[in-house]
């Protein structure tokens, strides 16, 4: 990703793997999960992570510890932290990140001075810039390197990438290293939020602060915006709010671009007003198709929800045209919210969404873009929660003690699996897909297609794991059937 060092990427991968585990793991098991790198390289990076964590997390109220014990294995322990400080530190320590951060902020800098500051050779610098340029080409940018390191490209492309880069690597505005007076930007962001009459919440203030900083940095380098005909057409449909008097350093063009950029960045509860009032409620062909198919594959939409979809779909498409994220950044967005794990946890939802999306892009091919698919999925979840597609499995659970103990066991099992399965407890073994009992005597009632699990009356974690393995087996078999023959969805 953007020429980052393989050891930086490996450390980030190690953190993600260990943070998902509650028990220690051996180096060999960690290597299998990583899928590449030698045991020696993994051990070295774990040792380096140990040292970084020890030096980084010294404040009261924060705790992060990487334990490496030859007998017990490796384990990451944390409390009162979301790992962002560690992840940001790793990014900031990477040469590719330092080059991009410097060149985006300063636009031009001395190659010799940079090499001296970073204690690297000019050949190392050129090689790293060559790697970065391979990915910058997607954003129509290029870094040249001679006596000076210079960022080449149109101003509009530089600012768009600057936001993608900053937001992709910094979750918090105050973590951007060159910002000397972050409070000044945050205060101004709150004023702008009030002027635009939008919610003064942390998400909005952070987003406005990022764009304020990028604009201020650009203007300090006398980098003015210019638009081609296609870009000018972006602004024509909208009536922009009047520029506040306190933004004296903004030209009218800067103000329009600033607002359009905020809109494309999905600023909460912010919309650009169309010049033609009728356009506000106009439902174009993509929105019609999206809603028609959503109602076919998910559920009916009321009039308010239809207006929401119409607004959201227009915003998603202009955001796609504005940013056009590459696969690396889209992978980053997916990883941040763990979409891959969500897909595995809710396979019936994904199957339904996949069928919906295939039908939609067949009707509207220009929307067949990964970025639009990702945000359409999130829109679907907002309208039709994941829990609506949990697999429905009938269960007969009993205790050899009495009916009341059987009910108690059912409640515990139901509560444990509530976020993954919709379990229906039946009164007759013949009605169940799964029979769970505290005695092997139930095997006399098993039919050919039924699954079973024997557990203790005092249900342990081992018992829950046994039940989960059987539930996963039932779901896997059902998913192999055509959707119309599914018994669980």
Question: Between these two residues, 366 and 403, which has the higher pLDDT value?
Answer: 366
Instruction: Determine whether domain 390-485 maps to CATH 3.30.70.
Output: no
List the beta bridge partners of residue 87.
none
- pLDDT tens digit string along 179-221? 677 788 889 999 999 999 988 888 899 999 999 999 998 988 8
Q: Are 177 and 92 in contact (CB under 8 A)?
A: yes
Q: Are 305 and 380 in contact (CB under 8 A)?
A: no
What b/e string do you get for 141-152 counting C-beta neighbours within 10 Å, with b at 16 or more? bebebeeebbbe
Residue identified by tokens 């020696």 is: 40
Residue 62 has pLDDT above 60, yes or no: no
- pLDDT tens digit string along 432-467? 899 888 877 767 777 878 888 888 888 888 889 999
| Predicted TM-score (pTM) of this structure | 0.85
Q: 315 φ, ψ to 5°?
A: -65, -40
Average pLDDT score over residue span 265-291: 83
H-type alpha helices, 26-121 = 27-34, 39-56, 84-92, 95-106, 111-118
Instruction: Determine whether domain 94-153 maps to CATH 3.40.190.10.
Output: no
DSSP conformational letter for 25: B
- pLDDT tens digit string along 89-119? 898 889 999 999 999 999 999 999 999 999 9
Average pLDDT score over residue span 379-390: 93
Average pLDDT, the chain: 87
The CATH topology of domain 6-83 is Arc Repressor Mutant, subunit A (1.10.10)
List the beta bridge partners of residue 394.
424
DSSP codes of every residue in 268-291: TT--PEESSGGGGG---HHHHHHH
- The reply to whether 390-485 shares the fold of 94-153 is no
Where in the chain are the domains? Answer: 6-83, 94-153, 155-261, 283-388, 390-485
Q: Give the pLDDT confidence score for residue 295 in this predicted structure.
A: 96
* CA atoms of 119 and 122, how far apart (whole Å): 10
Average pLDDT score over residue span 313-326: 91
Q: Which two tokens stand for residue 310?
A: 């119409």
Residue identified by tokens 């030698």 is: 38
Q: How many CB atoms lie within 10 A of CB 222?
A: 7
E-state strands within 364-465: 392-398, 422-425, 434-437, 451-454
Average pLDDT score over residue span 245-264: 92
């Amino acid at each position: 990703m953007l020429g980052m060092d393989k050891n930086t990427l490996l450390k980030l991968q190690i953190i993600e793997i260990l943070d998902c585990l509650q028990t220690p793991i051996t180096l060999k098991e960690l290597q299998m999960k990583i899928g590449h790198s030698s045991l020696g390289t993994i051990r070295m990076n774990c040792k380096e992570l140990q040292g970084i964590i020890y030096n980084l997390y010294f404040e009261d109220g924060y705790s992060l510890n990487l334990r490496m014990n030859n007998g017990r294995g490796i384990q990451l322990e944390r409390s009162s932290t979301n790992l962002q400080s560690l992840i940001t530190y790793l990014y900031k320590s990477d040469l590719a990140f330092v080059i991009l951060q410097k060149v985006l902020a300063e636009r031009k800098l001395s190659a010799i001075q940079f090499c001296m500051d970073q204690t690297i050779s000019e050949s190392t610098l050129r090689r790293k810039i060559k790697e970065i340029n391979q990915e910058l080409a997607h954003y129509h940018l290029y870094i040249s390197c001679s006596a000076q390191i210079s960022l080449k490209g149109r101003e509009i492309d530089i600012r768009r990438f600057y936001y993608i880069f900053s937001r992709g690597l910094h979750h918090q505005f105050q973590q951007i290293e060159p910002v000397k007076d972050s409070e000044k930007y945050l205060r101004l962001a709150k004023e702008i939020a009030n002027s635009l009459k939008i919610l003064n919440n942390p998400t909005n203030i952070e987003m406005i602060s990022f764009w304020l900083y990028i604009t201020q940095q650009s203007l300090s380098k006398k980098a003015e915006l210019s638009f081609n005909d296609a870009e000018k057409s972006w602004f024509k449909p909208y009536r922009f709010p009047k520029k506040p008097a306190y933004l004296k350093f903004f030209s009218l063009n800067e103000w329009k671009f600033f607002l359009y950029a905020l809109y494309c960045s999905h600023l909460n509860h912010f919309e650009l007003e169309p010049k033609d009032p009728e356009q506000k409620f106009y439902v174009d062909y993509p929105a019609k198709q999206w809603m028609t198919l959503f109602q076919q594959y998910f559920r009916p939409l009321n009039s308010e929800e239809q207006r929401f979809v119409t607004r959201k779909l227009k915003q998603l498409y202009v955001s796609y045209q504005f940013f056009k994220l590459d696969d690396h950044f889209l992978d980053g967005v997916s990883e941040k919210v763990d979409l891959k794990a969500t897909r595995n946890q809710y396979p019936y939802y994904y199957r339904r969404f996949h069928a919906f999306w295939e039908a939609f892009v067949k009707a509207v091919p220009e929307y067949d873009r990964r970025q639009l698919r990702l945000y359409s999925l999130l829109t679907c979840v907002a309208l039709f929660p994941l829990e609506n597609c949990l697999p429905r499995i009938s269960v007969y659970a009993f205790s050899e003690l009495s009916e009341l103990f059987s009910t108690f066991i059912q409640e515990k099992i139901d509560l444990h699996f509530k976020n993954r399965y919709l379990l229906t407890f039946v009164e007759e073994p013949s009605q169940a897909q799964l029979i769970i009992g505290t005695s092997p005597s139930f095997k006399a009632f098993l039919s050919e297609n039924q699954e079973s699990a024997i557990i203790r009356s005092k249900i342990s974690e081992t018992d829950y794991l046994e039940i989960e393995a059987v539930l996963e087996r039932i779901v896997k078999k059902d998913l192999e059937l055509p959707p119309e023959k599914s018994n669980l969805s």
